[in-house]
Structure 1
Amino acid sequence: MRLAPGVRGLVLAAVAAVVTSAGAAAVLLTPPDSLRKITGTDAAAPGLAWSLDAAALSGRSFAEFRSPVDATGINLGSAGFVTAGDTLVTVVGVSTDDSVALRDAVMYGIDAATGQVSWQAPADGLGGCAAVPLDSELLCFADTTSGPRDLIGYDLADGAVTRTPVPWQPFALAVAGDRLFVAEGDVESDDVRVHSGTRADPDGSWTRAFALGTAWEDLGDALDVTHGQGLLALGADLAGFDLDTGAPTWTARLEECSRVTTTTPALVERIRTRCDGYRVTGVDLLDRTGSVIAATDHGAPHSLVVDAPTDDSIPVLIADTAYDRRDGTVRWTNPDLLYTAADHEDTPTEYGTAVAVLGDLAVLSDPRTATTSGLDLRTGETRWRVPTERQGTVALRDGDDIVFTDAAGLWSVDAHTGKTHWDIPFRAVNPDPDAFSGPSALAATGTDHLTLATARTMIGLRPFD
């Protein structure tokens, strides 16, 4: 199927308060400032500050929370929100099998501390939004197959919508610092441009053309500006560019089924992968000039859910080796970074164990030994190793804690010792077994607040004073 440009690959029973904004009602299922202890949790666990249900909020059955970053013109998104100071911005729409689009999509601004809805605005037909705001607006672009070619700004204070017509066919949009970046053109004709400016003047800073392209159905996360350089990734074509001027700095190709990941400062990992069996054959580390500063034929990359190194003194992990981010030299090796398991063809295959980089700590998950470890990234020494009874996903580092999530709940591990600090079962928050089902998004919002979103439910957590 040919996908259109811009397509891209969160309560309890009683209603406690009704908040009216922009002429519409919103249902908050726990009252504001009613922090309550979650049954069965210990004293260290944060309490439930508020909880929202997507269907109750919108008044529509089958409504779900969606990340504004994803398109609403086609229902391929996942639960989530954009954090903007004390405001959370999320989309609620109806997800059913008989609709290609996310129907009746509405953008909501929610107070991160209380869960109260500050505003709401229409969000049908969006091609996607930036992951961070710019100039007190969340910036989005229209799905150009279903309406005008507009850039759309949602005011974070009141949800007021401002549309800026553009003579282009945008397919990606991003924000870095005080600048907007828009990628547009016909990717199937290798006719692509990137513009930099503001919502009102989107090409006011510069425009650059790139002879890159791919099929629309192969268009993924095409534009990245979050790691100190611009990166266009269109199918097998890669191009780096300077954020200040747009000047192209390098180009590269992905062979067969290879892929890329990005990391600070302006580094790209090219993961060489064969289409036959989707077997990884090695990894190249490219600097901001496109030069390969480190390479290995070891087929064991790491899949980092969180990649947040302290600074460029923290090495990059490839297979069992740590490479300096600045020049690619080897800093140290540690065999705990690898484990061996049989693949789908029962062939012994090595895999990377690192699942997160948090400051100067790497979190390792080894299913072979059923352990989770904390690895000092400056020395390569293991700080702690604990038995793992549940395989969760690292969501974030909150002060001295590492927060994990899985289908059953949230729990926090001390980053210095690996000891479990607190545990919150989802069924203790809401007895409905489906309230927290599916993928989730977790973020630190405000001072000591956590927000979790799943498709049906969004909650706010904060510690007791």
Structure 2
Amino acid sequence: MPDRTKLALLAAAMTAALTVAAAVVSVSYALAVDGRPATTHIPGTTDAAPGIAWTLDAPTLLDHKYAAFRNPTVPTHFDSGEAGFTDFGDVFVTMAGLPNHRSGNFDRATMIGVDAEDGSVLWRADAGSIGGCSERPAAGKFVCYSSSFEDDQMFVTFDLNDGEVTRTPTEWDIFGLDTFEDRVYTIEGNVEDNDVRVHAGTVDDPDAYWSKAFDIGAGWEEIAFGKTITTKNGAGLIDLGRAAAGFELESGTQTWTAGYPDCSEDVTFAGDLLQRVRRDCDDYSVKGVDLLDPSGEVVISTQQRFTQSLEEAEPTDDSVPIIVGDSGFDRRTGEKLWTSSLLVSDPDGDNPNGTAFAMFGDVVLVRDPQNQSVSGIDARTGNRLWTQEVRSSDGYAFDGRNVVAFDDLLRATDIRTGEQAWEIPVDAMVESDRDSPRILRETDQSLIYATNATLISLR
């Protein structure tokens, strides 16, 4: 069993570092036209800019001026301060509640099902004490597990259609789960004793397909707030901080492992491949990068002393090269296709850093910190498509044609030409949200601008 005293101290330390503010705005809905909601023009914008399809307000939903939205996949036993929602196509799920600055908890945590088309609330359900949830559904359910602070853990599911909650007790000590194609993958055990097991099953029978033991471990403090299991395109990744392992989704067969005594590797998904960063055991500097296929075979390997951190690394298809170091590689064969000096910044000559920060379709965005500019690079050829001077931004999203940067403005730039498409002042949509965490995400329905207090659909 996990040491709950340790976990409580970790949660308190994390909470003390977070500051949470909630802006209060009003709810508004556009009128329906031909069965599809119309949009409301935003003052001060051109006709090319999207309008507001709907807004959803947390204070109004909970009838409390300090109510806030939170990412529904994170634990509820402390307040993450992370605004957000999960996109399930026709339905969005968000979590609303009350930040408690004294206890550090997120009180009255409530799961909310939202119609993605018109913003109407489809259902709401008591979240209870949640330890984490998957970002993908399984069998029409939003799949979660209860907090390890609870004496008896449970699987918790929310029906996406009506919000019906099912709580199923389990003897497992769960510390992570993920879903893929209606299968549920659960990781449990005692990481401090290298007693880790992964189970594959269904919502109703979580070990129906297989159960496998993995001889890896870590300290509870290393996994308390991170994502410990990720599944994608036939491959599974266990990430315990100091140790990691890969496995096949179909059989559970372990494909590779990394960790002590190597003390040198970070592993994440990079599109359809797994990226393994090799580090020096003394100073933890980067020694190189390997790209592995789902079976664990190394497809690409470099010796360069820097990495790229892409916010969006999903290509439109597997013919789009993957960016590793200063080059573009064929992700299927590992062949190096091109090299560009735009992908590395090293003004001092001995401290190289990757400059790529986002990839949308087949265009890579890179920063030039010396010239304070952003460029778009064709991922297929390595050619620069455009360059523009920019100020810093809180993040980027993609609406299918334009890359949209945001801070106090939403600024859309044509991804292929670099021409400005439109701008939207944030204060024309909401009251001041300067101190609130903000995200901008593209969905099948629209762009969603989210703060602690508000979800806004732009279309």
Name the TM-score, length of structure 2 as normaliser. Answer: 0.88
Say which of 236, 256, 260 aligns to 2:242: 236
The equivalent of 1:282 in structure 2 is: 288
Question: Structure 1 residues 260 and 341, CA, compared in 2 at 3 Å: closer, same or farther?
Answer: farther
Amino acid at match of 1:461: L
Cα deviation code 1:333-354 (max 9, x no counterpart): 0001111356xxxx95221111
Give the percent of matched residue pairs that are identical in Structure 1 and Structure 2. Answer: 38
Q: Is 2:114–2:120's contact at 8 Å kept on the other side of the alignment?
A: yes
Distance 1:100 1:389 in 2: 34
Cα deviation code 1:296-323 (max 9, x no counterpart): 3322211111111123332222221223
The equivalent of 2:402 in structure 1 is: 401
Distance 1:245 1:262 in 2: 20
Distance 2:220 2:441 in 1: 32
CA apart distance, 1:258: 4.3
The equivalent of 1:410 in structure 2 is: 410
Cα deviation code 1:386-436 (max 9, x no counterpart): 2224445222x2222222222x13221111101111111111112x223x6
Question: Structure 1 residues 353 and 458, CA, compared in 2 at 3 Å: closer, same or farther?
Answer: same
Question: Structure 1 residues 172 and 312, CA, compared in 2 at 3 Å: closer, same or farther?
Answer: same
Question: Structure 1 residues 106 and 391, CA, compared in 2 at 3 Å: closer, same or farther?
Answer: closer
Q: Is 1:241–1:248's contact at 8 Å kept on the other side of the alignment?
A: yes
Runs of at least 5 residues in structure 2 that lack an aligned partner in the other structure: 16-21, 33-37
Secondary structure at 1:188 match in 2: helix
The equivalent of 1:443 in structure 2 is: 441
1:93-172 correspondence runs (5 A)? 93-172=97-176
The equivalent of 1:339 in structure 2 is: 345
The equivalent of 1:85 in structure 2 is: 89
Q: Is 1:86–1:445's contact at 8 Å kept on the other side of the alignment?
A: no
Q: Is 1:227–1:263's contact at 8 Å kept on the other side of the alignment?
A: no
The equivalent of 1:22 in structure 2 is: none
Question: Structure 1 residues 80 and 154, CA, compared in 2 at 3 Å: closer, same or farther?
Answer: same
The equivalent of 1:42 in structure 2 is: 46
Distance 2:183 2:428 in 1: 43
Secondary structure at 1:349 match in 2: coil
Q: Determine if the alignment matches structure 1 residue 328 to structure 2 residue 337.
A: no
The equivalent of 2:277 in structure 1 is: 270
CA apart distance, 1:13: 5.2
1:164-183 correspondence runs (5 A)? 164-183=168-187
Q: Is 2:75–2:131's contact at 8 Å kept on the other side of the alignment?
A: yes
Question: Structure 1 residues 97 and 227, CA, compared in 2 at 3 Å: closer, same or farther?
Answer: farther
Distance 2:10 2:163 in 1: 23
Cα deviation code 1:257-283 (max 9, x no counterpart): 64222123232232526674x643432
Q: Determine if the alignment matches structure 1 residue 452 to structure 2 residue 449.
A: yes
CA apart distance, 1:385: 1.7
The equivalent of 1:383 in structure 2 is: 385
Question: Structure 1 residues 122 and 452, CA, compared in 2 at 3 Å: closer, same or farther?
Answer: same
CA apart distance, 1:150: 0.9
CA apart distance, 1:204: 0.8
Amino acid at match of 1:113: E
Secondary structure at 1:115 match in 2: coil
Number of positions where the alignment pairs a residue of Structure 1 with one of Structure 2: 439
Amino acid at match of 1:416: R
Q: Is 2:81–2:437's contact at 8 Å kept on the other side of the alignment?
A: no
Q: Determine if the alignment matches structure 1 residue 195 to structure 2 residue 199.
A: yes
Question: Structure 1 residues 392 and 68, CA, compared in 2 at 3 Å: closer, same or farther?
Answer: closer
Question: Structure 1 residues 420 and 390, CA, compared in 2 at 3 Å: closer, same or farther?
Answer: farther
CA apart distance, 1:4: 6.5
Cα deviation code 1:113-147 (max 9, x no counterpart): 22221110001210011101111110110013225
CA apart distance, 1:80: 1.0
Q: Is 2:25–2:57's contact at 8 Å kept on the other side of the alignment?
A: no
The equivalent of 1:186 in structure 2 is: 190
Distance 1:12 1:128 in 2: 27
CA apart distance, 1:461: 1.1
Question: Structure 1 residues 245 and 291, CA, compared in 2 at 3 Å: closer, same or farther?
Answer: closer
Q: Is 1:71–1:77's contact at 8 Å kept on the other side of the alignment?
A: no
Question: Structure 1 residues 353 and 29, CA, compared in 2 at 3 Å: closer, same or farther?
Answer: same
Q: Is 1:4–1:216's contact at 8 Å kept on the other side of the alignment?
A: no
Question: Structure 1 residues 403 and 291, CA, compared in 2 at 3 Å: closer, same or farther?
Answer: same
Amino acid at match of 1:443: R
CA RMSD of aligned residues (A): 2.6
Which region of structure 1 is more displaced relative to structure 2, 257-266 or 218-227? Answer: 257-266
Question: Structure 1 residues 147 and 426, CA, compared in 2 at 3 Å: closer, same or farther?
Answer: farther
Say which of 351, 360, 385 aligns to 1:358: 360
Runs of at least 5 residues in structure 1 that lack an aligned partner in the other structure: 15-27
Cα deviation code 1:239-272 (max 9, x no counterpart): 1111111111221226446422212323223252
Secondary structure at 2:313 match in 1: strand
Q: Determine if the alignment matches structure 1 residue 248 to structure 2 residue 254.
A: yes
Distance 1:361 1:39 in 2: 31
Distance 1:391 1:451 in 2: 17
Distance 1:351 1:211 in 2: 34
